[in-house]
A and B are shown apart, each in its own frame.
Chain A
Amino acid sequence: MSMLCIKNLTKRFGGVMAVNDVSFEVPAGSIMGLIGPNGAGKTTVFNLITGICRPDQGEIIFDEKSIVNLLTHNIISLGIARTFQTIRLFQNLSVLENVLAGRHSRMKSGSLRAMLRTPFQRGEEEAAIAKAVQTLNFVGLRRDAAQLAKNLSYGNQRLLEIARALATEPRLLILDEPAGGMNEQETTNLITLIRKIRDQRTTILLIEHDMSLVMRVCENIVVLDYGAKISEGTAETVKNDPLVIEAYLGTDEE
């Protein structure tokens, strides 16, 4: 059964075909990679899935439900979470509060309950903090809970983004270049973390430029070039696909 099913997705920006008739499926419980040269349309696919922009054509089916016309926050509450290519943390808030942002969609108390501080509101708040701390523990940032997000190192900011996404309890986690700016050691730890997340029954879809990471961690890979899908399969298949080699390295014939 597939967790996410993308059918004939197309998106134009003016005259540019950012995504051109792309279809693929993400099987439940798998780690899937989306790769391609710069400007291939990978991030646009992510933005289409999470409702940040709308497709011109095509279907996006999450858990047998079309999510094409939903607003981003509704998509998040259905169980998709994402991180951003350029880190988008709440820089002037604490690490804990950043993770609590992810808990938001799983909480109910509004302004009135907050002003009256009802037992329900207090209980919910306590549970949210406990869950956020647990998530910070999971990614290894528990000790930095009180720090401001902007004071974390680059690698830790990436981890915090993942923690914020995980706090929404997603069934599908979308990672946009999670290893960007990480050193060798941090990347290795990240691979362990990604596997750990998958083992908690979260399906993962990721964009990555670090080929070693993609080849090591992804079970299935989709390759985009100029907005179109040019290849799909296991790491081994994709690596030996002449079309992929051409897209990345060019051909001799020119």
Chain B
Amino acid sequence: MRDHSKIIYSTMTVLLAMSPLFLNKYWVDVLNNVGLYAILGLSLNIIVGHAGLFNLGHAAFYAVGAYTAAIFNTRFNIPVLWLLPLCALSAGLFAAIVMRPIIHLRGDYLCIVTIGLGEIVRIALINDIFGITQGANGIFGIDRPSIFGISIRRPHEFFYLIWGFVAVSVFFFHRLENSRFGRALNYLREDEVAAEGSGINVAHYKLACFVIGAAWAGMVGDIFASKMTIISPESFSFWESVLLFTLILLGGSASIPGVILGAFLIVGLPEVFRGIANARMLIFGGAMIAMMIFRTEGILPSRPRRYVLPDESSGESRA
């Protein structure tokens, strides 16, 4: 079973890595978008999938990262890739400050407040807050990223940057979820009172997962800004947050392969069905309803963690 999925995943990875060789610009760009949403999905998955906190305002953190990159790049000419840590920091700090007073809200209440947060950020950007976001027109003239003096411009080049970032994200998030930290998030998702009663600082972990998720989304914002070279508040609408939320639920909550599959289905599939553009939202909606009825845990649901137990009988056993 496990070897089986290993083969499938490695084949998919190799196929994906070689895809720019046989795909045209348009399709490579579609894959780039899928990649960006996959990373955003993974960052939201920590919050929604693992901690079970409904966040429908993730675009706000994404926006903070993107605008940090845009502002520092256009005003101070700092290369965009150098700005990655700063974008992570600003989005993470923003999350820490705004989530701190509302983190104790449960379920749908938290959900409503995060929707509000997303809208406030978007409207603040339109209103040219502090005179630095340039209003509804947005910021243009953001530099392309460059690695060792080689500028990244074409979709093929962006493909490797973005999917490299996906690989790094998968690597780190996989480690994160298989740790004391990841387990703590699962405990509070399952039962907050029992988690606190087992010695877990629930408020701390709720805030921590928001900060980590936001910081990661902030870095995606940086890449996005440099890919588009122009960003405006409309790129960070409520719809973006909804897409991210649905791709997690569709693909498989708390499951890394699930989230990536979700990104392919939500972002990639509509492009495939552009021919039947009028009906595609209908088909999409129907598919979502079918999912909710027949497979509530998502297409690739999360699997139980495996532990190596010190054992009297056999070396490795499943737990």
Contact = CB atoms under 8 A, between A and B. Distances in A.
Contact of A145 (B176, B183, B319): B319
Interface string B163-205: 0000000001001101111111011001101111111111000
A192 interface: no
B294 interface: no
Interface of A: 50, 52, 71-73, 76-77, 81-82, 84, 88-97, 100-102, 104-105, 107, 109-111, 113-117, 121, 124-125, 128-130, 133, 145-146, 148, 164-165, 168
Given A91-B191, A93-B190, A114-B178, 5 more contacts: A88-B194, A89-B191, A93-B304, A109-B179, A115-B175
Contact of A90 (B186, B201, B307, B309): B186
Contacts of A100: 183
Contact of A129 (B186, B195, B308): B308
Interface of B: 172, 175-176, 178-184, 186-187, 190-191, 193-202, 208, 212, 304-305, 307-311, 317-319
A90 B317 contact: no
Given A111-B181, A146-B317, A94 B194 contact: no
Contacts, number: 123
Nearest to A117: B175
B293 to A, nearest CB: 20
B319 A94 contact: yes
Nearest to B309: A133
A92 to B, nearest CB: 6
Contact of A50 (B180, B197, B307): B197
A77 B199 CA distance: 6
Contacts of B178: 114
15 contacts: A52-B196, A73-B201, A73-B202, A77-B199, A88-B193, A89-B191, A93-B304, A96-B319, A104-B183, A104-B199, A107-B180, A110-B180, A111-B208, A115-B172, A133-B310
Given A90-B186, A100-B183, A101-B183, A111 B198 contact: no
Contacts of A133: 309-311
Given A97-B183, A111-B181, A114-B179, A92 B198 contact: no
B199 A102 contact: yes
A88 B199 contact: no
Contacts of B195: 90, 101
B199 A105 contact: yes
Contacts of B180: 104, 107, 109-110, 114, 124-125, 128
